[in-house]
């Protein structure tokens, strides 16, 4: 017979590192087994929608990738787009897995989220590969900045993984510093990667150019801002603690805004790819997938170091009342 679903706990019944500001109930028991964590996908708790808001889009992006590989994947110059689309599928899949396994015992919880951060760092690199190939300002093509744009993005991806994973070691004793490091780890690469797009948007605002992809890039930038604000503000649950424990809390908003931003970005890159065909020099497959491979190798090395260094957490403070 299947085991009954684990009872949900209130904030005072779980260790402080498991708590979220303004979320008072719906916590899964800390140190659950992997099976219990996976079964929790099908029962309502404060992580359920965090999981599904990324798991469903991951399936959609994976379907798009497989469709492209079966059709336009052979199209010359499609390598950067395929690499980018692969990272679009990877990061929500890793995020949903991390949230599903977020109640694991020992260091398993931290390892799951470190993998999540590594995948998100690779998505930043995938975005840079797509921007370099299809979205760069034409007057910047061949410049020193263009030449070093992808190599710097590779380095940023590895640094992002390192800084975000390091933040897991600070979470229990210095949660605010941990959150600041994690935010910086992803805000800085996003700003660097978006410099070409920001420049094109500024020229459009000044009336110097008008391209079909720019409204989509604007919407992606707006979603990125909303993603940042929802991640750092913990609104609306800070205003009404306990009212958004299951539906509507900031991390769900964070996930939804992030996915909407990726959808706008994907459409913008697709438009740039079609409208600017032949106007930008396209990198070889070796350059594209070599850069992605170097970023992945660096992140995997950091993940390996973190996995070896993580230690079991102190005994749980879970209470029975």
Query: Which residue is it, tokens 């940023």?
Result: 156
> What tokens does 184 get?
């910086």
Residue 246 in domain:
yes
Q: What's the pLDDT score for residue 69?
A: 87
Residues 6+ apart with CB under 8 A from 268: 135, 213, 214, 216, 217, 220
Note whether residue 268 is domain-resident: yes
Name the nearest CA neighbour of 17 among 151, 178, 152, 164. 178
DSSP 234: -
Taking Cα atoms as reference points, which of 246, 312, 319 lies closest to residue 31? 312
Which pair of tokens denotes residue 55? Answer: 């798991």
Instruction: Give the pLDDT score at 2.
Output: 46
- Residue 47, helix vs strand vs coil: coil
Q: What is the mean pLDDT of each run of 10 residues along the chain (321 residues)?
A: 69 90 95 91 95 98 92 74 97 97 88 97 98 95 96 98 94 87 96 97 79 94 97 95 96 98 97 89 92 98 92 49 38
Q: Is residue 22 part of a domain?
A: no
DSSP state of 32: B
Domain extent at residue 150:
49-309
Which of 199, 194, 200, 202 lies closest to 221, judged by CA?
Answer: 194
Which pLDDT does position 13 carry in this prediction? Answer: 94
Domain assignment present for 13? no
SS3 category, 244: coil
* Residue 94, domain member (yes or no): yes
- What are the φ and ψ backbone dihedral angles of 32, each rounded to 5 degrees? -70, 160
Give which of 249, 304, 127, 137 is closest to 204, Cα–Cα. Answer: 137
Task: Give CA–CA dist 156/223, Å, rounded.
Answer: 22
Q: Is residue 228 part of a domain?
A: yes
Angstrom distance (rounded) from CA 5 to CA 212? 50
Contact between residue 79 and residue 285 where contact means Cβ atoms under 8 Å apart: yes
Would you say residue 315 lies in a domain? no
Q: Give the 3-state DSSP-derived string for 32-63, with helices as H, strands as E and coil as C.
A: ECHHHHHHHHHCCCCCHHHHHHHHHHHHHHHH
Distance CA 171, CA 67 (A): 40
User: Residue 317 has what pLDDT?
Assistant: 44
Report the domain count for the chain.
Answer: 1
Tell me whether residue 215 is in a domain. yes
Q: Which token pair is 245?
A: 């424990």
pLDDT for residue 1: 40
Phi, psi angles (nearest 5°) of residue 279:
-100, -15
- What's this model's pTM, rounded to 2 decimal places? 0.93
């Amino acid at each position: 017979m299947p085991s009954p679903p684990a009872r949900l706990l209130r904030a005072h019944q779980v260790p402080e590192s498991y708590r979220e500001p303004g979320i008072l109930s719906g916590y899964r028991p800390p140190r659950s087994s992997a099976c219990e964590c996976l079964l929790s996908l099908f029962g309502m708790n404060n992580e359920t929608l965090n999981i599904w808001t990324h798991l469903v889009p991951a399936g959609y992006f994976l379907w798009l990738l497989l469709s492209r590989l079966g059709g336009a994947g052979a199209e010359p110059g499609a390598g950067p787009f395929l690499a980018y689309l692969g990272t679009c599928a990877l990061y929500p899949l890793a995020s949903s897995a991390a949230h599903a396994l977020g109640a694991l015992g020992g260091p398993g919880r931290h390892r799951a989220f470190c993998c999540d951060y590594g995948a998100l760092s690779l998505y930043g690199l995938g975005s840079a590969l797509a921007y370099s190939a299809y979205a760069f300002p034409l007057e910047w093509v061949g410049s020193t900045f263009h030449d070093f744009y992808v190599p710097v993005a590779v380095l940023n991806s590895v640094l992002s993984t390192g800084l975000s994973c390091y933040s897991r070691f600070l979470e229990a004793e210095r949660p605010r510093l941990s959150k600041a490091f994690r935010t910086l780890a992803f805000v800085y690469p996003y700003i660097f990667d978006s410099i070409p797009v920001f420049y094109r948007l500024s020229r459009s605002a000044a009336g110097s150019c008008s391209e079909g992809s720019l409204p989509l890039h604007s919407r992606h930038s707006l979603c990125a801002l909303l993603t940042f604000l929802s991640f750092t503000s913990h609104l609306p649950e800070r205003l009404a603690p306990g009212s958004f424990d299951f539906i509507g809390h900031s991390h769900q908003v964070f996930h939804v805004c992030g996915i909407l931003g990726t959808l706008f970005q994907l459409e913008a890159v697709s438009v740039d790819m079609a409208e600017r065909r032949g106007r930008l020099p396209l990198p070889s497959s070796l350059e594209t997938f070599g850069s992605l491979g170097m970023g992945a190798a660096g992140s995997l090395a950091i993940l390996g170091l973190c996995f070896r260094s993580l230690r079991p957490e102190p005994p749980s403070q879970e209470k029975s009342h």
